[in-house]
Amino acid sequence: MDYQQILKRNIDRLNAEIKELENLCRDKEIASLAKEEISGKKLERDAIRKNLEKTVSIPKETAVFEHRNVIMEIRAGTGGEESSLFAVDLFKMYNRFAEKNGWKIEPLDTHISEKGGFKQIIFSVRGEHAYQRLYNESGVHRVQRVPKTETRGRIHTSAVSVYVMPEAEGLEIDIKQDDLKIDVFRSSGPGGQSVNTTDSAVRLTHLPTGIVVTCQDERSQYKNKLKAMRVLKTRLLDKLNKEKEGEISQRRREKIGRGDRSEKIRTYNFPQQRVTDHRINFRTNLQSILEGKLEVLFEKLDRHYN
């Protein structure tokens, strides 16, 4: 089932629910409550209709979702601890860019390495045109620098993978309870030690697709479940959208790759204080990019792809 079919199915479901509520309006005792429900469901239906109109009139993937908030994943790849430390630098870079644009970043799930790096961090970015601006950040980001732990001053090369997805909205992704396996466990920190005394961490497994999402950042099991559900719905939307485009779910693995150094889209060279985007063969100052001044890169990428 493609993205447009999902929207149409949800519109049909809401129409059926509205019809049932209209029948309940005949009962004077519950008429007022039924009318309130009808009003809310009509608003939801109209919002989905507008979204459907956009998908019909603008077939291009980025155009369909250009006004969306995004969920991003940053994962350490080749390079061990140095890779996880650079993942922190990338998260800070995107955070600074978000601040400049008046966007809000919210961490959803974080896995910390023993030295304080990110083995993985998943976070949302909320703001106008967030997906449009960040879409091209998906891929492997390579770093060349002397690690703090290197005593001989040798330059190491590490890699971090970044993936950007438009966040699912409202009712466009409907997950059946029977298709969901929910596990709870204790949150863990660096080295695997427990950082909480209660089973507040949540793992969601979507049985039809095998997609697994965990969340342990909150002390509340309920809040972790809500965050994990946001990520799960977004991953399902991403999978459906790629299938609609004829690229199947393997597109994600091809774009992110294995976090290997050879699958790079960009290199951050600290000794030469230079960033190179290999897709457009463009070089610019490293420090300004790490400070979140990504506009120059994004403008070049826009001109190249559009």
Segment among 36-45, 102-111, 285-294 with least mean pLDDT? 36-45
Which CATH number, 3.30.160.100, 4.10.640.10, 3.40.50.300, 3.30.70.1660, labels domain 64-169+248-305?
3.30.70.1660
Mean pLDDT of the region 152-156:
85
Model pLDDT for residues 214-253, shown as the tens digit of each residue: 999 888 888 999 999 999 999 998 888 777 665 544 544 5
64-169+248-305 matches 177-244 in fold: no
Retrieve residue 68's tokens: 């969306």
The 10 Å CB-count burial string (b at 16+, else e) for 192-207 is: eeeeeeeebbbbbbbe
CATH number of 177-244: 3.30.160.20
Distance CA 40, CA 33 (A): 11
Model pLDDT for residues 3-25, shown as the tens digit of each residue: 556 667 888 888 888 888 888 88
Model pLDDT for residues 258-283, shown as the tens digit of each residue: 555 446 899 999 999 999 999 889 99
Mean pLDDT of the region 25-32:
83
pLDDT for res 1:
45
Predicted structure pTM score: 0.70
The 10 Å CB-count burial string (b at 16+, else e) for 51-83 is: bbeebeeeeebeebbbebbbbbbbbbbbbbbbb
Domain ranges of the chain: 3-57, 64-169+248-305, 177-244
Distance CA 25, CA 38 (A): 10
- Give the strand pairing for 139-145 and 264-269: parallel
